Amino acid sequence: MSEHQAIKIEPVEKQIKVGLNQEAAFRLFTEDLNKWWPLATHSVGEEKAETCVFEGHEGGRIYETMKDGSQAGWGKVLAWEPFEKVVFTWFPSRTADTAQEVTVSFREISGGTQVELVHTGWEMLGEKAQTGREGYDFGWDFVLANYIVTATNK
């Protein structure tokens, strides 16, 4: 048993509702990531970050570009199922071998779309796993609040 398998930490799970149809909610989350992601506070470069990109296909990269043109990887798309689900690795500020997995599902409901985010794989962070999970539990709330605001104003 490896050190990453020795501990089991519950996933971070978030459910939100936006007043967009399923296709629009999916597109906003992915191809329009730069319109709602809070780069100034939730990025590798923070004030140096200029944009972020979500390449919309299996194997696509998720990354930020700094004002000087350099890039920092955030993750890689594992599954691309427009307009129902996207699955990606997640490792901002870290190396890909410490990546967690994030699944975001989109389901049309009365008045909009339910978006469910499940962030798993905390064990990949070793002794920092529980702290990382706790930080992302609050972090995803903040990030998804920006997504909701952008969806509301769309």
pLDDT reported for residue 6: 56
Q: Is there a domain that residue 7 lies in?
A: no
pLDDT one digit per residue (tens) for the chain, 154 residues: 444 455 689 999 999 999 999 999 999 999 999 999 999 999 999 999 999 999 999 999 999 999 999 999 999 999 999 999 999 999 999 999 999 999 999 999 999 999 999 999 999 999 999 999 999 999 999 999 999 999 999 8
How many domains does the chain fold into?
Answer: 1
Q: Is there a domain that residue 37 lies in?
A: yes
Q: Is there a domain that residue 32 lies in?
A: yes
Q: Is there a domain that residue 25 lies in?
A: yes
Q: Is there a domain that residue 28 lies in?
A: yes
| Residue-number span of the structural domain to which 41 is assigned | 12-152
pLDDT reported for residue 1: 43
The three-state (H, E, C) secondary structure of the chain, written as one string = CCCCCCCCCCCEEEEEEECCCHHHHHHHHCCCHHHHCCCCCCCCCHHHEEEEEECCCCCCEEEEEECCCCEEEEEEEEEEECCCEEEEEECCCCCHHHCEEEEEEEEEECCEEEEEEEEECHHHHHHHHHHHHHHHHHHHHHHHHHHHHHHHCC
Specify the CATH number for the domain of residue 143.
3.30.530.20
